[in-house]
Amino acid sequence: MILIPDVKRKKFGVFGLGVSGVATCEALAKSGAQVFSFDENRQARDKVADTEYRCEHPKNWPWKELEAVIVSPGVPLTHPKPHAIVRKAKLEKVAVIGDTELFARALNALEPRARPRVIGVTGSNGKSTTTALIGHVLKQAGEDAYVGGNIGEAVLSLPAFENDAIYVLELSSFQLDLTYSLRLDAAVFLNLSPDHIERHGSIDGYLDAKKRIFLNQTADDLAIIGVDDDYAQSVCTEMMARGPAAVRPVSAGSALGRGVYALEDKIYYNLDGKTSLAGDLSKARSLRGVHNQQNAAAAVAVCEKFGVDPALAVKSALRYEGLPHRIEEVGRNGKVLFINDSKATNADAAARALAAFTDIFWIAGGKPKEGGIESLLPLMDRVQTVYLIGEAAANFEAVLKDAVKCVHCGDLDKAVAAAAKDAAKSDAKNPVVLLSPACASYDQFKNFEERGRAFRDLVSELSATNGEAA
């Protein structure tokens, strides 16, 4: 656990008691602070009932004495309107921050020679895979690398700072909005597509939040930026012009005069005026698709800064096992392959999975997001049938019906059964049943993880019924 300096006997509010909220309470309490916590969910409040930071309604907090309020990343700061806790803090002139800001303050309190190296990764899509892949490559190279933030462990639950360690953090736009003093040795901005507009007010607000990953970087630091979409390309151009960090572009599909790029499954790098081949990713089953080639290029670009040869980085990437719910192979029933891509909660993410396969029996739908799925129409030549679930079903059919056969299934159980049956009967040599919803999950599931686990369980049951190993 990471302890927070200079908080002994000081008072803090913690609003939101999910994984990161509880870790924040624990870190502050162990650092000697007095913590006042609350969550609007009764079950969450019950989790801390027997602790020294047990819940107390914010109306009873000692607002005039609070140093700061640490809020869950999900708490709206500005849009669609500020949460009541944010309005109260502003009224009382109390700072509103996140757990990553406490991590940054603990980091900044260290002497320079005691400071570990820190990597941050953001982007609309691919940030979890890239974060995990960077951690994997660094560990394979013998580094003490710890991975957390928006993936895996809460940032304050990571091991106490070690000066020879590397901390690899996934950072969402919500987390970056609550972070002010974090300086990253390497900051990765992968891509940007319309998402979370309701939270940031506009695409420009969303982009501004993502760009905060470069705050506080110096000339000694590195900015790794994808250049495969217009938004990220503009960020790369801006960073190259204004610095101060060195900029290393990455791409999947375009050769670069400088940086790291992927072409036809091969990773190339040009960091000193000479282009070299780092290796071939064609056999990396956990890194299917062009988008994962961009993720791999970013990982190679980052790890080279920390002394890992690009060829070694690619060899390590071939041994990467992947993350759950991200183009995850979860079973095979006869000739039919089942892919769990439940993490694809927007059209851009779904496009990446659709582009990775052919003869697809696609399960899509859920809680619709702004932006729609019109951008997916050019990929429908890869899809044989779409099986629609959730609130988005009617809208999705209206968009897709002239391009591909659509079947209303309502829920995931019916969709898996129908898709599996049709795929097995099809003439396709290697049919794929793909769950890549292009939607949020919370119309029928608690989160995308629960949706992905449900899909995996249905595939296992299906395989067991038919006498196949899942």
| Binding-site residues for ATP | 123-129
How many other CB atoms sit within 10 Å of the CB of residue 312? 18
Spatial neighbors of 10 by CB under 8 A, at least 6 apart, are 33, 34, 67
CA-to-CA dists, residue 412 to 316, 384, 387, angstroms = 36, 18, 9
Q: Return the biggest CA–CA distance within the chain.
A: 71
| Chain center to CA of 24 | 20
What is the DSSP-derived secondary structure letter of residue 77?
S
Spatial neighbors of 295 by CB under 8 A, at least 6 apart, are 126, 129, 130, 133, 190, 287
- Single out the residue of 125, 146, 108 nearest to residue 343, CA to CA: 125
List the structure tokens of 461: 């049951």
Q: How far apart are CA 299 and CA 137, in angstroms?
A: 8
Answer for the pair 105, 10: CB distance below 8 angstroms, yes or no.
no
- Single out the residue of 259, 256, 230, 234 nearest to residue 246, CA to CA: 259
Backbone dihedral angles phi then psi of residue 409, each to the nearest 5 degrees: -115, -25
Give the H/E segment covering residue 453: helix 448-465
Answer for the pair 51, 43: CB distance below 8 angstroms, yes or no.
no
SS3 98: coil
Spatial neighbors of 395 by CB under 8 A, at least 6 apart, are 368, 372
What is the DSSP-derived secondary structure letter of residue 157?
G
Q: At what angle do helices 290-305 and 310-318 cross, to 10 degrees?
A: 130
**Binding-site residue set:** 123-129
